[in-house]
Chain A
């Protein structure tokens, strides 16, 4: 095995590790709504989401193509750059997970790769127009759209069923949440697993395994990315479930259905056009919209403000960590840098997990 193949192997393993963190970090947002309205128990909701995440990863490749082609120049970067970008994304994901902040894994990934690329090659290899049109503008529009759809949806629902027996209405919407929650998990798998597929494909191009133009995502990349995000989802993310499910608003089943429907509709429509969205931002927008549609003061705007702050920090923070990691990796010859960073990273992850396990936050099964 050559040095470059060894680095490629480390990059693929790191990308799949990112996919796992993406699963337990982001998918918690997907299931939180169903859990908080008691439409499903936490364990069933997480298992259900994991299966649909896996299935969703096979639906489309538009987002993977965007990540591989429209963010940075695949022909100008190396596998070390992609490795450093992934470390930036994983580090930021773990920091926000540790503190229970539902930030965007997608923006962490794109920020990390862009930061490492700027450190390695300069701004010439960064596609500013692609990032603006495919990432930044949809990032602003999507959560606002989910907010509006969630708010109008819940107002319409209350007008239609407002005078009916509460028990029948609640049971009906809880049943509906099984479908809307499933659709949201499917949408999440579609959009988020593709980001990892895009990064692995980018690494294969950088390593010369795929041509720099006209390439396609290999099947083994699709299957491994789908499996990784499903495993991450199943492992759960209870802290973020708590934040998303109860701290933004207290939801009823109709609000949960409206929020999930809004989130799924926005993510599926965006995935169709290849926009790599933050599912976290979209579902939070839907949840806040469903809350504000009932009563504006029902939304805990302070918590929502913390989430917005985490979002604003995500791109620059992940880019900074990615750039620093690239600088560190380049201090060592060949594959030594990635091996050292991987060892340090694994140690820090193990430490963080041990600390968290000492303070478990149990939810009813």
Chain B
């Protein structure tokens, strides 16, 4: 009776979506900070190759974070 009343699919989807979004956003934003930090160091050391790589990592991390935020809001408004 009780298990029949519980919408386990919705609960499970909530758990998975919250986990992926919460942990994923923290990871990609941390990568953006790592990229920015190492970009600064590499630039100061004159290492252009490393600076380029870490600069790209920073930009990609920021873009992924922004995409996660926009996607979250779109999912909310789509129902």
Contacts and interface: CB of A to CB of B under 8 A. Distances in A.
Interface string A270-312: 1111010000000000000000000000000000000000000
Interface centre among A60, A146, A164, A271 (most CB of B within 10 A): A164
B41 to A, nearest CB: 8
Main DSSP-derived SS at the A contact region? helix
Given A149-B18, A272-B75, A183 B69 contact: yes
B53 interface: no
A160 interface: yes
B18 A257 contact: no
Contact of A141 (B15, B17, B34, B76): B15
Contact of B33 (A161, A258, A262): A161
B26 A156 contact: yes
A154 interface: yes
A258 B79 contact: no
Contacts of A262: 18, 22, 26
B7 A133 contact: yes
Given A60-B77, A60-B79, A273-B14, A265 B37 contact: no
Contacts, number: 133
A39 to B, nearest CB: 13
Interface in B1-25: 2, 5-7, 10-11, 13-15, 17-19, 21-23, 25
A168 B23 contact: no
Contact of B30 (A60, A133, A160): A160
Interface residues of A, number: 48
Contacts of B30: 156-157, 160-161, 254
B47 interface: no
A168 B33 contact: yes
B36 A172 contact: yes
B interface secondary structure, majority: helix
Interface in A146-177: 146, 148-150, 152-154, 156-157, 160-161, 164-165, 168-169, 172-173, 176
Contacts of A257: 26, 29
B34 A265 contact: no
Contacts of B17: 265, 269, 272
A89 to B, nearest CB: 25
Contacts of A265: 17-19, 21-22, 25, 72
User: Contact residue range for chain B?
Assistant: 35 or more
A140 B24 CA distance: 23
Contacts of B72: 183, 264-265, 268
B58 to A, nearest CB: 9
B27 to A, nearest CB: 5
A190 B65 CA distance: 21
B18 A59 contact: no
A303 to B, nearest CB: 23
B32 A148 contact: no
A315 interface: no
B61 to A, nearest CB: 10
B73 interface: yes
A323 to B, nearest CB: 25
A75 interface: no
Interface in A45-100: 59-60, 62
Given A157-B27, A160-B33, 8 more contacts: A59-B73, A146-B22, A149-B23, A154-B26, A176-B65, A180-B25, A257-B29, A271-B76
14 contacts: A137-B11, A141-B11, A146-B22, A148-B19, A149-B19, A172-B37, A179-B65, A179-B69, A257-B29, A261-B21, A269-B13, A269-B14, A272-B75, A273-B10
User: Which 5 pairs across A and B sit closest by C-beta, in order of nearness?
Assistant: A265-B22, A153-B26, A149-B22, A129-B5, A172-B33
